[in-house]
Structure 1
Amino acid sequence: MDYFIVKDVHMTCAALSIGLFALRGGLQLAGVAWRRSMLLRIAPHVIDTTLLTAALWLISQLHQYPFVDGWLTAKFVALVAYVLLGKLALRQGQPARRAWGFYLAALFCVAYIVGVAVTHSPLLGL
């Protein structure tokens, strides 16, 4: 498979994943029952699976690995934090104040991940 196609798939899935998280989080904070939508429940799993599959393919082709290359380690650690914070933000019954905090922290993590991806630096090129 062509590197640029897989990279484009990875970046497209990342944008879709972030957009869907922002949408679901916004709906959650607005009190909208988004879980009734099958699309909003299932699509993130399909997109995130494709995103991670493309990431693993890119890692194998570039021979750059988390815990070997600093920028990929930073992305991996931030990804774990993003997933955990996102899960807490979207938890049903979460008090609004806490949900907002987790939601904003998750968005901060994803902004950091994108910054590291663009700069290939855990310090964002500073």
Structure 2
Amino acid sequence: MSDGILINEEQALLKLFATDHLNVPERTILPNGKVRASLARELIEKHLCLYGWFPATEQYPTGDQGGAYYQLELDKNESLSLHSNVEYAYLRYKHSKKRFSSIPQLITAYLRVKEDEGLDGLSIDWDR
């Protein structure tokens, strides 16, 4: 449930990755209260191939304007990158970009860093 509207597991995952938050009713949608890695990979790849970015449909601002985030890119030349904008001092952010050779490697790196960052207290079920 999001603002009174029922959502499914896919919509809950898209919201989680876009906002780093799920409310209590939305968490109950996830099997065993965990993110299924297989579904997350499928959703991320589909969105990335469709829009070239995940989450969102365009690049987030970089540096101090962007705040902290991780974002995937599949550019027009089919180059794969994980963008990160991390806080290095109070309200000061630095952007970096790491390239990958395959979509599965890129998505796994993203999921691992999101899980390490806390994922709003949720864990990833890597076996499902």
- Determine which structure has the larger helix proportion and give its number: 1
Larger Rg: 1
- Determine which structure has the larger strand proportion and give its number: 2
Q: How does the TM-score come out when normalised to structure 2? A: 0.30
Q: How does the TM-score come out when normalised to structure 1? A: 0.31
